[in-house]
Structure 1
Amino acid sequence: MSTSNISQILVRNSELLSAKTPLFINLMADGFIENYLLDNPNAKISCHNTNFFDYEAIKNKYNSQINTSFNSEYKTALEHDLVIINFPKSKDELAFTFAMIAPYLSDNAKVILVGEKKGGIQSSPKLTENFLQGCQKVDAARHCLIFAGIVNAENLNKNFNIEDWFKTYQININNISLTIASLPGVFSQKKLDVGTALLLDNLPQSMQGKVLDFGCGAGVISCFIGKKFESTQLDLLDVSALAITSAQRTLALNNLSGNVFASNSLSNVAGKYQHIVSNPPFHQGTKTSYQASEDFLRGIKSHIIPRGDITIVANSFLQYLPIMHEHIGTTKRLISKQGFNIYHCKK
């Protein structure tokens, strides 16, 4: 794995990062952690990731040396004197992250924010003014920025309750009403997105048996299917711990059951399905990344039973049709509307 720009700028500022009990949030296993271990051999390092891919990579590489966690909520018995946060794609997710870690920070803990310039990190001083003292830029390199500040102990609220962070909204499609619950940072957190709405209007007319919802987000697609086709059994996967918790909550709010699990593309998919449905993601954090979705399309055929089918929605500019033709079978474009295409293939 090549070293990311974020890891490179952190390495070049290693003198700022010495600590006894550092916490790294959503960093990658691509160089920085290894360098930090060399410079701080006695540090008790914790890594918390909400992305399953990064969590597995760190756990597999450093399991005996550091504490790792993958969850929507961070909990520990430690008190951290340093936190390094990979700046998230959502401002709400940043606020959520600060609130989540507050119970586990020492009064004078240093907080480092690192991220790409185009990801919105320039607004760090304003976004953190109620949480940090003296948040300021300390370096710019590799198209990235680092901001540093000290925890404002007077404003440190150590009573975190994840229930306070769910956003809920109602949707009604084809006379099916659903309540959607979503945590910050989850796709389409506050309203139904256009692509998913189009997909729900173009599902197979009849569905039964096992259904896999790939990249489930808050669970909208599965819950709609579960309400409309009561004989289905729902499996939902996502790479995001925040999405998994949101989907579990959405299922419960709609009196539905389903198996929700983490997977890096198809890494944890073992079964075969009658129906595959997806609004495949093409972002990793603030970056555009097609790898997981293309791997999904290239590998999904072995998980579709005979006469089973796959239905996906994709932005019109994404070249998924030839991949589906080659790796799954003859694929139809059912509709092209509002910048999205619906593709369907029957095995």
Structure 2
Amino acid sequence: MNVETPRAEHPVCQLLERQDADYRGWWWIAPPRDAWLEAGQGVAVSADLTVREAWRGAGGKAHSPFFPEPAGAEATPAGAVLFWPKSHALGEWWLLWLCATLPEGTPLRLVGENQGGIKRVLKVLAALGLGCRKLDGARRCSLFETRLGRVGIDSAAAWTTFDAGLAGEPLTLASHPGVFGHGKLDDGTRLLLEALPGTLPFEGRELLDMGCGDGILAARLARQGARVSAVDVNAFAVEATRRSLAANGLAGEVLESDVYSALAGRRFDAIISNPPFHQERAIDYGPAARLIGEAPDHLRPGGALIIVANAFLPYPDRLERAFGRFEILADDRRYRVYRAIKR
């Protein structure tokens, strides 16, 4: 019995689907979730753990840009398709990484939504000395083609550091394009940090930083004597947090995890988070809903969930359902800091 190949759902995938091209053996770089892609025969390279798990769940192959690296025939694909991200700096990093990773002359196609800035790749490629031609355009998306070459720029240069110290206490954080709050201290995280003192003792407590980003919460908690675990679904964030802890001489466990997926059976004295609610340009409450709804299963009795969120987000109802009650620790009209305790 033949299984019908799924049709492309995402506009950029629909644009690729209509091309007269054999993509078997190609690399798909930073792809969106799409059944048509996941049913193909290429290799996904993504910093997003959920994307890699979806590909593997469909019987495909997927890798992180950090580890493990593809080997054998997978390491020399017939070509690659880069899905241009919302962050142009991240798109440029992927280009530099591809130029350094794949053989010179490897075909590269770049696809993205027009409103997401895909047309900017013309200037980016020209600056790198790479030629480019437009292959197609439809559904408010564009597809370009080039060939990889040696560009003499190290992709590692995208890693930067900045000081996120509070109250005169310096704290060095590592940052990378695509990591939340890239290169600066987010206002919501600042409010959360200001509200934390006095909420619970940190010394010797097991605390979880959920959605660790650049590691500011993990580093602050570790500096105050907590035993910190930090998780994020984004491999760039995991690497940034590891670098941030190391830069400040601090210890902590840092894991890739889709919310609690890497933490089965584990419980903490507190879970602290500035949870995301965007996936690219779309609002996505899924991760935050799971963070709140499953938190009681990962807290010890008396343990607290402490989160900061935009004031308009519908989290009070979710906190009420999960914990029975909650309190607001801080509110500056833009953001609120909530605490809910497991009874």
Deviation at 1:338, TM superposition (A): 5.2
* Conserved 8 A contact 2:78-2:106: yes
Deviation at 1:185? 1.0
Q: Structure 1 residue 50: deviation in Å?
A: 0.5
Structure 1 residue 119: deviation in Å? Answer: 1.9
Q: Deviations over 1:5-60 (max 9, x none)?
A: 332222122x1x335641111224533335644xxxxxxx3221100001101012
CA contact (8 A) 1:329 1:346 kept: no
Contact 1:7–1:31 (Cα < 8 Å) also in 2: no
Matched, 1:117 2:111: no
The residue correspondences of 1:131-210 to structure 2 (distance < 5 A) are: 131=128, 132-136=130-134, 138-141=136-139, 143=140, 145-151=141-147, 153=149, 155-157=150-152, 160=154, 162=156, 164-205=157-198, 206-208=200-202, 209-210=205-206
Tell me which residue corresponds to 1:80: 77
Q: For the Cα contact (< 8 Å) 2:38–2:55, is it kept in 1?
A: no
Distance 1:73 1:86, change over 3 A: farther
Give the Cα–Cα distance (whole angstroms) in 2 for the partners of residues 194 and 320 of structure 1.
19
Deviation sequence 1:170-191 (CA, Å, 0-9, x none): 1221343210001221111111
1:4 aligns with 2:10: yes
State the Cα distance separating 1:81 from its structure 2 match: 3.5
Structural RMSD (CA): 2.2
The question of 1:256 aligning with 2:256 is answered no
Structure 2 residue 34 is the aligned partner of structure 1 residue 30:
yes
Q: Shift of residue 137 of structure 1? A: 5.5
SS in 2 for 1:108: coil
Distance 1:338 1:263 in 2: 31
Q: Does 1:307 align with 2:302?
A: yes
* Matched AA of 2:119: Q
Task: Give 1:73 deviation, angstroms.
Answer: 6.5
Aligned residue identity for 2:326: T
Question: Residues 34 and 70 from structure 1, CA distance in 2 versus in 1: closer, same or farther, beyond 3 angstroms?
Answer: closer
Correspondent of 2:105 among 108, 128, 147 = 108
Structure 2 SS opposite 1:191 = coil
Paired residues of 2:328 and 2:338 also in contact (CA < 8 A): yes
**TM-score under structure 2 normalisation?**
0.88
Q: Which amino acid counterpart does residue 276 of structure 2 have in structure 1?
A: P
SS of alignment partner, residue 319 of structure 2: helix
Q: 1:253: how far off? A: 0.6
2:58 counterpart SS class: helix
Amino acid at match of 1:249: R
SS, match of residue 181 in structure 1: strand
Shift of 1:254: 0.9
Uncovered stretches (5+) of structure 2, i.e. residues with no partner: 1-5
Number of residue equivalences: 328
Identity %: 26
Aligned-residue offset at 1:235: 0.7
Q: Secondary structure at the match of 2:55?
A: helix
> Following the alignment from structure 2 to structure 1, what is the Cα–Cα distance between the partners of residues 168 and 126?
45
Q: How far apart are 1:310 and its partner, in Å?
A: 1.2
Task: Name the aligned partner's letter for residue 68 of structure 1.
Answer: A
Cα distance between partner residues in 2 of 1:191 and 1:93: 16
Q: For the structure 1 residues 343 and 112, does the alpha-carbon distance in structure 2 shift closer, same or farther, using more than 3 Å as the test?
A: same
Supply the distance in 2 between the matched residues of 1:306 and 1:34 (Cα, whole angstroms).
Answer: 41
